[in-house]
Structure 1
Amino acid sequence: MEVMSNLVTQNIPNYLSSLPVPKSIGGWFRLGFRDWVSLVPLGAVIGGLTYMSYLAFCPCGRVCKIHLNEKIEKNNPKVVHSVDVEDLGETSAFCRCWKSKTFPKCDGSHNEHNETTGDNVGPLVVKKKK
């Protein structure tokens, strides 16, 4: 714990007070090469903390790692199925959860998915007009 105390109360303040931070905007233009090199670690820490904060708090900064389709035609860049209207019965249900073993037709796999995850996904039901 003494190491942490020394770091916070002595080392970091000494390091920060020794940095060549100018008092005016024009002072930045008069800094030498060694001055800029001594500012690099501070800039890296500030940049790293800013980037980590961006990833943590900005949803658009994160890449979605969850794939809805876990097994159906994974070798295709886009899964597309077409069904002729004449082939449909009176009522047809199409899968929207990507878990059906009879994809694109629904086999009720979403029921188990909904119970496990608390989700509310269901099939697309297509009915013929009478």
Structure 2
Amino acid sequence: MSFEVPNIEIKFRDWLALIPPTAVVGGISYYSYLTIKKAREAGNGQINPIIRKDIQKVVDFIDIEDITEKAVLCRCWRSKNWPYCDGAHGAHNRATGDNTGPVVVRHKPTE
């Protein structure tokens, strides 16, 4: 059993016809590369960058009796005054396009 391979002749016009699909495949490949690279540079998916990294889970208790008027609690995990907000979410929001803000706990006025 033998196979004969026909003599394939590619002309200049045929090479020109290969340019658009090659450019499309190259563009898609490059865009995919940039997307994967950006995702890897973004980190490992952890939300908490600095708060008590030496323990397995961060849990804070605040007694409601200790709150005089209101307590402003951090939700962005960037506060140097954890668990209270110090406004660090502002820089975080500008850098990432996020819209996170603090949790405000206040006493409801008694009637």
- TM-score normalized by the length of structure 2: 0.58
1:72 paired with 2:55, answer no
How many residue pairs end up in the alignment? 68
Gaps of 5+ in 1: 1-55, 57-63
Gaps of 5+ in 2: 1-35, 37-42
Cα deviations by residue, 1:48-70 (Å, 9 ceiling, x for unpaired)? xxxxxxxx9xxxxxxx8121111
1:108 paired with 2:87, answer yes
Return the alpha-carbon distance in structure 2 between the equivalents of residues 89 and 111 of structure 1.
Answer: 25
- Equivalent residue runs for 1:73-88 within 5 Å: 73-88=52-67
Superposition misfits of 4+ residues, deviation over 6 angstroms? none
Residue in 2 that maps onto 1:50 = none
Residue in 1 that maps onto 2:101 = 122
- One-letter amino acid of the counterpart of residue 73, structure 1: R
Q: Secondary structure at the match of 1:126?
A: strand
Residue 89 of structure 1, CA deviation: 2.2
Cα deviations by residue, 1:72-111 (Å, 9 ceiling, x for unpaired)? 1111110000001111121111000000000000000001
Q: Secondary structure at the match of 1:113?
A: helix
User: What root-mean-square deviation, in Å, do the aligned CA atoms of Structure 1 and Structure 2 show?
Assistant: 1.5
Residue in 2 that maps onto 1:29 = none
State percent identity of aligned pairs: 47
Residue 127 of structure 1, CA deviation: 1.0
Q: 1:99 aligns with which of 61, 78, 90?
A: 78
Higher helix share: 1
